[in-house]
Amino acid sequence: MDNQTSISEFLLLEFSPTRELQILHFLLFLVLYWAAVTGNLLIISAVAFDHHLHTPMYFFLMNLALQDLGQVSVIIPKSMINSLLNTRHISYTGCVAQVLFFAFFTGSDFFLLTVMAYDRYVAICNPLQYEIIMNRTTCMRMIVSVWSTGFFNGILHTCSTFSTTFCSNVVNQFFCEVPQLVKLYCSKVHQTEMFSVVISILIVLGCFIFVITTYVQISKEVLRIPSVQGKKKAFSTCLPHLIVLSTFIFTSCIAYLRTPSNTPSYMDLVFTIMYSTVPPMLNPVIYSMRNKDVKIALSKLLRLR
């Protein structure tokens, strides 16, 4: 029992004992982090400083950028510092904080993408009453609900993950990932963790069904538009959201539905990087490439012709 309860720190995945490869890992993660932070900060700044983007859709986009910025900032800097200092350590408190905030930001991401689907539904299926339905008060309530539900998701997973004892402190991942921590339990199955998994599955399934139903209604409405140009315009407003949502779901499914190995695996590392860092890095690119208003705002912000 003393060994089970005396864990004061965890050991994260060591990419390589070779110093040159550690520096290479630091540089690669630096590029990923720089790209994600720069892209999301540009989106936040463009929406904040351009009054033409002060609409519900871009308000939600700015919050998505904030969440993506938080998600990568929770996990990547610590891994970069460890590689630079040639260490693997993370304190018990630091590990708890990573689980809490990573679950918080990823959960908020998914809930916000669900809200954004409803925003597109109102804009296309009920355009004449869009400003009445999606007014400032409604948008603020939606955002508060998104962040609150995300925080509940973080608390739920953190409490369930650290409510039992660990028989090892070696985490086979570059951050404190919940599936890797669960494998360190002294007991096979823990009721609290199972409860949190069931609750999360029910919430995600409910959101997924809502999004599918919403886009079925949007598709029916778009098909009723007589002009080809009108159909293209309506579809173009939904395309970035669909790409972002699909990327988020696809990478998350790959990461969590696979069978994790009991030993460090490069495939586990690749899958984890795919769902934890790739979506936050791609989201600003997707929205800026497919959106003329965002391009104009970014051009003004960067003083480009």
Q: 148, 73 in Cβ contact below 8 A? A: no
pLDDT, residue 290, reads 65
- What pLDDT, on the 0 to 100 scale, is given for residue 188? 66
Best CA proximity match to 64, nearest among 117, 136, 28, 138: 117
CB 119 within 8 A of CB 57: yes
pLDDT averaged over every residue in the chain: 85
Written in H, E and C, the secondary structure of 242-271 is HHHHHHHHHHHHHHHHCCCCCCCCHHHHHH
CATH assignment of 2-301? 1.20.1070.10
Rounded CA gap, 276 and 106, in Å? 9
Give 85's contacts (C-beta < 8 A, 6+ positions apart).
Answer: none
pLDDT of residue 180: 86
From its phi and psi, is residue 86 left (phi > 0), alpha (psi between -120 and 50) or beta?
left
Cβ pair 48, 62 in contact under 8 A: yes
pLDDT of residue 35: 93
Report the distance separating Cα 63 and Cα 108, nearest Å: 9
CA 165 to chain centroid: 28
DSSP helix/strand/coil, 126 = coil
Per-residue pLDDT at 3: 42
Sign of dihedral through CA atoms 15, 69, 60, 237? negative
Q: Give pLDDT, residue 186.
A: 82
pLDDT-flagged residues of the chain (< 70): 1-6, 188-194, 254-265, 289-290, 304-305
Q: Are 249 and 292 in contact (CB under 8 A)?
A: no
Could you give the angle at which helices 278-289 and 56-85 cross, rounded to 10 degrees? 140
- Looking at residue 305, its pLDDT comes to 52
139, 145 contact by CB (below 8 A): no
Residues ≥6 apart with Cβ < 8 Å to 5: 165
Alpha-carbon span 231 to 28, nearest angstrom: 41
Q: Locate 299 and state its tokens.
A: 């051009």
Q: What pLDDT, on the 0 to 100 scale, is given for residue 270?
A: 81
